[in-house]
């Protein structure tokens, strides 16, 4: 199902600035609308001439929501993607040269099937789904996005993880020539994230290749990213090139950089404040800046589906 969406309004300026550079601000987000338009199913892939070998079509997935989707413009112009800069507008400005075709993903670790697989290898056996998910940043903003992707668990099962596989580690592309933010020391590159394997195979976890009926734009994590909707946004790693099954908990990027601020679990919990701001309220991107903030929901509103994963776990200690 292909969806075309108008661009109704401009995004708001950043509410919260990035970690370690929180004194850095810009007045306005510069929008280059022409650079946002990506090909539909029959068009060429990003960074590559010629015909795309994959078609982007999806069927409606489970977990419907009555929340109004955030506009395509707001979703694609207001991003955290530190590989391309620290401001919310930097990914749009700096990511357009990223080559996302050809693309491959290495499967490694505690699994019977390992090796390097092309994007076509990963996607072709699966039917893509469209799922409208709420998405909450660790800062004070949120959005509602129609993502296109495949259940992560369906993919992982193809590689037959062994009984030693307790976690899944994900790694982003490391290429400072294409990703200028990696020339900085704000993080120990490449970006790494991880999930417990029961979280990774949960039906809500989605491996995403598109949004709003289009291929993912570069600034949104093309060509392959993760969406874990009950966790803060930094868990949803972008531009994935490696998936590794591990017995031990992975050393993830933000948890290593600032463990007092960014826990491994990162479940949305309004009762646990970030050291520099409250998590109890949020504002939807694109909403009137003067509009009252809304209450943040435990597990981002997905408690009925995922709370059982953490039964008996102290969510204040394991934040």
What are the structure tokens assigned to 265, written together?
């679990």
Nearest residue to 242 (alpha-carbon basis) of 302, 168, 185, 294: 168
**Rounded (5°) CA angle 279-195-183:** 80
Q: DSSP string of 22-39?
A: TT---S-----HHHH---
Domain coordinates in residue numbering, the chain: 33-310
Question: pLDDT (tens digit, 0 to 9) for every residue of the chain, 319 residues total?
Answer: 433 333 233 333 333 333 333 333 333 223 232 223 323 232 333 433 333 467 888 899 998 889 999 999 999 999 999 999 999 999 999 999 999 999 999 999 999 999 999 999 999 889 999 999 999 999 889 999 999 999 999 999 999 999 999 999 999 999 999 999 999 999 999 999 999 999 999 999 999 999 999 999 999 999 999 999 999 999 999 999 999 999 999 999 999 999 999 999 999 999 999 999 899 999 999 888 788 899 999 999 999 999 999 999 999 999 9
pTM for this prediction: 0.84
| CATH 3.90.420.10 applies to domain 33-310 | yes
């Amino acid at each position: 199902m292909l969806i075309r969406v108008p661009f109704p309004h401009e995004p708001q300026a950043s509410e919260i600035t990035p970690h370690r550079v929180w004194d850095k601000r810009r007045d306005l987000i510069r929008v280059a609308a022409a650079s946002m338009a990506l090909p539909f199913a029959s068009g060429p892939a990003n960074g590559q001439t010629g015909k795309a070998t994959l078609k982007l079509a999806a069927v409606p997935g489970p977990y419907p929501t009555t929340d109004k989707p955030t506009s395509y413009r707001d979703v694609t112009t207001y991003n955290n993607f530190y590989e391309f800069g620290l401001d919310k507008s930097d990914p749009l400005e700096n990511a357009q040269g990223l080559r996302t075709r050809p693309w491959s993903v290495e499967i490694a670790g505690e699994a019977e099937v390992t090796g390097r697989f092309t994007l076509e290898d990963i996607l072709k056996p699966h039917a893509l789904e469209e799922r409208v998910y709420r998405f909450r940043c660790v800062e004070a903003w949120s959005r509602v996005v129609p993502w296109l992707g495949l259940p992560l668990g369906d993919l992982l099962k193809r590689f037959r993880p062994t009984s030693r596989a307790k976690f899944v580690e994900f790694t982003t592309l490391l290429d400072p020539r294409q990703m200028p933010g990696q020339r900085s020391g704000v993080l120990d590159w490449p970006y790494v994230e991880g999930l417990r394997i029961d979280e990774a195979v949960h039906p809500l976890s989605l491996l995403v290749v598109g949004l709003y009926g289009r291929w993912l734009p570069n600034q949104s994590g093309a060509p392959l990213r993760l969406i874990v909707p009950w966790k803060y946004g930094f868990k949803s790693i972008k531009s994935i090139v490696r998936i590794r099954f591990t017995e031990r908990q992975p050393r993830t990027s933000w948890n290593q950089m600032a463990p007092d601020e960014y826990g491994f679990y990162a479940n949305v919990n309004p009762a646990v404040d970030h050291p520099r701001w409250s998590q109890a309220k949020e504002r939807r991107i694109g909403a009137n800046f003067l509009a009252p903030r809304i209450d943040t929901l435990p597990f981002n509103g997905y408690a009925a589906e995922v709370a059982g994963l953490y039964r008996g776990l102290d969510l204040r200690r394991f934040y």
